[in-house]
Amino acid sequence: MAQGWVCVHRQLLDNPIFKNDKMFRVFMFCLLRAQHTSGDQLVGDSVVHLKAGQLATGRIAISDKTGLSQQNVRTAISKLEKLGILTIKPTTKYSVITMANWDKYQQTNQQVTSKQPTSNQQVTTSNNDNNDNNENKNIDQSKIARDELIESSFNYWWKSYPTKTARKAAFKKWQSITKNMDDNIVTELTNHIVSDVAFRLDGLAKGDDRFIGFDRLHPTTYLNQERYNDDF
């Protein structure tokens, strides 16, 4: 039986994989099976040296543990790789999967930051309140950078989308979707949506009946219905 624990950030709630059952199961399997520290793992008759955040496995093993078909596992891993959540290096006997940002989210010293003295927290809050009351406020560079990220991510998707209708309404919806997301989640979601658009257009060009009419689908409808989370 597996022992120990891993950290799961609340940002996961805003990640597109959270609403995709197959991707989420594969992601959690890889996260929970990844090495916490560097070490050796026996795979069949081979000894594999793995770094923290890596695991050696295969589609059959993941399929057995998650209850998904091997094809579903293959599709889920491919999408997770496109989202930059993991990378996979196959061999003839197994594959080495590396979880992205392992050190960032699995740091053991993260509690130090959250347990700063109460007095220090109070001083920081007080200083922030005083700064907010200053008549001559500085320009919030972080807000400017955030606005630029949202606009550039929207433009990236808009450029890839086949129907250019009601841009203003689509952008308003994009702002609503990304409002509470961290910057890295916005980037991951954008890449996921652009990949979904490319996948649909490619299928349409190949005569796949599932995508008939996509080239005429209103962009705001695509966002409102979260069509980028459709399971194919």
Q: Give the pLDDT of the chain (232 residues) as one tens digit per residue.
A: 455 678 888 888 888 888 899 999 999 999 998 988 888 776 765 778 889 999 998 888 899 899 999 899 999 999 999 888 999 998 878 889 999 888 877 765 444 344 444 434 443 333 444 444 444 444 454 566 888 889 988 998 999 999 999 999 999 999 999 988 888 888 888 888 988 899 999 999 999 999 999 999 999 999 999 998 888 6
The ranges assigned to domains in the chain are 10-105, 141-229
Class of domain 10-105 (CATH, top level): mainly alpha
- Listed in order, strand segments (DSSP E) in the chain are 39-43, 46-50, 54-57, 86-90, 95-99
Dist. CA 135–CA 224, nearest whole Å = 40
**Contact between 219 and 166 (Cβ < 8 Å):** yes
Reading the block at residue 186, the tokens are: 């916005």
How does DSSP assign 71-134, residue by residue?
A: HHHHHHHHHHHHTTSEEEEE-SS-EEEEETTHHHHS-TTHHHHHT--HHHHHHHHHHHHHHHT-
Q: Is the pTM higher than 0.95?
A: no
